Structure 1
Amino acid sequence: MMSRIETRFKALAAEGRAGLVTFVTAGDPDLATSAAILEALPAAGADVIEIGMPFTDPMADGPAIQASSRRALESGTTLAATLALVRNFRRKDDTTPIVLMGYYNPIYHRGVADFLKAAVDAGVDGLIVVDLPPEEDDELCLPAREAGLDFIRLATPTTDAARLPAVLANTSGFLYYVAIAGITGTRSAAAADVGQAVARLKAATPLPVAVGFGVRTPEQAADIARVADAVVVGSAIVDIIAKSDAAAAPAATSDFVKSLASGVRQARAEVAV
Structure 2
Amino acid sequence: MIEFEHVSKSYDPALAPAVDDLSLSVRDGEIFGLLGHNGAGKTTLLKMLVGVLAPSSGRILVDGFDVGENPLEAKRRLCFVDDSPDHLLRLKVSEYLGFIADMYAVPDERRAPRVERLAREYGMEGRLSDTLQALSHGMRQKVMIMGALLVNPPVWVLDEPLTGLDPRSSFTLKSSMRAHADAGNTVLFSTHVLDVAERVVDRVGVIDHGRLLFVGTVDEMRDHFASDRDESLEQMFLELTGGAPTVAEEDL
TM-score of Structure 1 vs Structure 2, range by shorter chain:
0.3 to 0.5
Higher relative contact order (CA 8 A, sep 6+): 2
Higher fraction of helix? 1
Q: TM-score, normalised by structure 1?
A: 0.31
> Rg larger in 1 or in 2?
2
TM-score by length of 2: 0.33
The structure that is strand-richer by fraction is 2
